[in-house]
Amino acid sequence: MMQGLIEIAERPWVSLVIGTAIGLFSIILSVILYRRSLIRNSLSFVKVEVEILTVNNPTWQSDLDIKYQGIEITRLTAGRVGIWNSGNTTINYDQVVGSQPLMVKVPDDSRLLVCHATVVSRTVLNVKVEQCENNQAKILFDFLDPGDGFVLHIAQSSPRNTLAVTGTIKGLPHGLTEFPISGRLWVAIARSSVLPILIMGFGTGLSGLLARALSTAYSLKPDDWQYKAIATTMFVVMILLAIGSAFLERLIQKGRSASIPKSIRTDPVISSSMGIGSK
């Protein structure tokens, strides 16, 4: 048995395949390590908005009134905004452009009723919220190390999906990056069904080709141990592909959520909206 494996390993094409695989792995590893060594500035945010009540909704009685500090409003939407340093270098507040500070805004015809920081990864960040106008508030902090962040509790009189996080920070030419709570439907379907099917199909085809090629190259018959070894190996590969496909969507979801600091993703509203646990 060992002699047969040695003979197979001594074939020139086997050495070529192994050498090529090692070379490709080395290149991929070098690219990954290089990208990780680069200085990367990034500030991300995630927002969740839930419409609580609308006065003109026919479900409610016409005499229903909502007031905030004596001001009548016709709609109430609550939410969360999580902001964190998603890069690998510190962001100091002096990097925020004075003419375009970090702001939370709702449309001009609406009111930002409540906006305050309730969860901060470290108190030393000195996160503060200053209400500037009826529809916007300024976010202040001393600095944000990689992974530092905070959660804002929001209440507004505008419809959901109208809240905006704006600002210009030096070193971030593309501005803040919004972390999507949920992607497009076709993306979710592709990840959970189409992509695993494609992987399984590709794996099945490749396994069959390899098995036939090896059997033909060495004139193997079904009774030969080499043939049985190849068949068993292909079967194990298919089992591994099936297991990997079954957990693919979950791994992607975990990978997405893991990129959010624990202080933010453990907020019950954000975690429930993302379909992850709050622990």
- Are 212 and 254 within one domain? yes
Spatial contact of 212 and 222, defined as CB atoms under 8 Å apart: no
- Are 103 and 71 within one domain? yes
Q: CA 274 to CA 256: how far, in whole Å?
A: 10
Residue 225 lies in a domain: yes
Residue 269 lies in a domain: no
Confidence at residue 42, expressed as pLDDT on a 0 to 100 scale: 87
Helix (H, G, I), strand (E, B) or coil at 223: coil
Confidence at residue 6, expressed as pLDDT on a 0 to 100 scale: 46
Q: CA 83 to CA 174: how far, in whole Å?
A: 16
- Are 23 and 105 within one domain? no
Residue 267 lies in a domain: no
- Are 133 and 48 within one domain? yes
The radius of gyration of the chain's CA atoms, rounded to the nearest angstrom, is 28
Spatial contact of 234 and 211, defined as CB atoms under 8 Å apart: yes
- Are 78 and 99 within one domain? yes
- Are 191 and 159 within one domain? no
Strands (E) across 55-187 are located at 66-68, 71-73, 75-85, 91-92, 103-105, 112-120, 128-133, 136-140, 143-144, 149-156, 164-166, 177-178
Expressed as residue numbers, the domain containing 225 is 182-258
- Are 197 and 234 within one domain? yes
The last residue of one of the domains, among 134, 151, 178, is: 178
Measured at the CA of 163, the angle between CA 76 and CA 156, to 5 degrees, comes to: 25
Residue 162 lies in a domain: yes
- Are 54 and 85 within one domain? yes
CATH of the domain at 171: 2.60.40
- Are 174 and 124 within one domain? yes
The last residue of one of the domains, among 178, 209, 231, is: 178
Residue 135 lies in a domain: yes
What DSSP element (H or E) covers 50?
strand 43-54
- Are 75 and 134 within one domain? yes
Confidence at residue 5, expressed as pLDDT on a 0 to 100 scale: 44
Confidence at residue 274, expressed as pLDDT on a 0 to 100 scale: 65
Question: What count of residues does the chain have?
Answer: 279
- Are 50 and 34 within one domain? no
Domain total in the chain: 3
Spatial contact of 57 and 77, defined as CB atoms under 8 Å apart: no
Q: Digits of tens for pLDDT over the chain (279 positions)?
A: 444 444 544 455 555 555 566 666 666 666 655 455 555 788 999 898 888 877 666 655 556 677 777 777 888 888 899 999 988 899 999 999 999 999 999 998 888 998 999 889 999 999 999 988 889 999 999 999 998 999 999 999 888 888 999 999 998 888 888 887 654 444 554 555 555 666 666 666 666 666 667 667 767 676 777 666 766 776 677 667 666 665 665 565 555 566 688 888 788 888 777 655 555
* Angle formed by the axes of helices 248-258 and 225-246, nearest 10°: 50
Spatial contact of 203 and 238, defined as CB atoms under 8 Å apart: yes
Residue 249 lies in a domain: yes
Nearest one of 103, 226, 123, 114 to 168, comparing CA atoms: 103
Strands 149-156 and 75-85, by their bridges, are: antiparallel
